[in-house]
Amino acid sequence: MTDILKNKVALITGGASGIGRATAILFAQEGAAVNIADINSRQGQAVVDEIRAQGGRACFSLCDVTNAEDCELAVDATLEQFGRLDILFNNAGIIRRADVVETTEAEWDKVLAVNLKSVFLMSKYAVPVMAKAGGGAIINTGSGWGLKGGAQAASYCAAKGAVVNLTRAMAIDHGAQKIRVNCICPGDVDTPMLRHEASQLGQAEAEFLAEAAQRPLRRFGQPHEIAQAVLYLASEAASYVTGAALVVDGGGLA
């Protein structure tokens, strides 16, 4: 590895699995200390143990990203453990595959809370810390469906579309504080959430995954491939990039 993030400190929500886990491991390999914030303490601690076994620095924060107090405590814990906060990766997310008629009000509220409100809450507490230190980088997980519509995913499309535009608004608001704010827009990626979509839709998993692979590169993505895009946006290689929505989807939107 090249120590791209040497001496940097990152806070990653949804870091216990999928894209968050892959990014946490990659960031640690590139020299960053990482706080993994998640509601799954067993899996989150396992990622911490894996990073430490490789000689990296990591800690875990039990965090409901829809709860303001939990978000503030996660930022505080990052400072207590590592003394600073340079990178925030707002990655926690869930999906409900249903149209507006079939989506319950509770499901709507939950999807928007986890996917969108969490970005607001974590950023609310992270931005002042970054500004005081002279800058930082925030990366939000959007989606291809944040840039175009998708079938039977009304609440998810609404939340991810909002994440993309919130990213732009934050980039405008905090550029003068040397805080860059960008989002990644993945296509289908081989994560537990992707496989759970098949059961929500009542489809056989193999059939669902075959459909997910129908894009120019003829496959769905892997978590480490999205992590590489997050690493770019977090690094000095993207020093003049803010307010961007980086599509990483094997050509699906194309």
How far apart are alpha carbons 145 and 123 in whole angstroms? Answer: 22
| Measured distance CA(222)–CA(227) in Å, rounded | 9
| Eight-class DSSP state of 235 | S
Catalytic site residue 156? yes
> Residue 8 carries which side chain, given as an amino acid letter?
K
Query: In this structure, what are the phi and psi dihedrals at residue 80, rounded to the nearest 5 degrees?
Result: -65, -40
Q: Which of 125, 156, 232, 240 is catalytic?
A: 156
* Encoded amino acid at 89, one letter: F
128's CB contacts (< 8 A; 6+ apart) are: none
Rounded to 5 degrees, φ, ψ at 222 are: -115, 150
Q: Name the residues annotated as catalytic.
A: 156
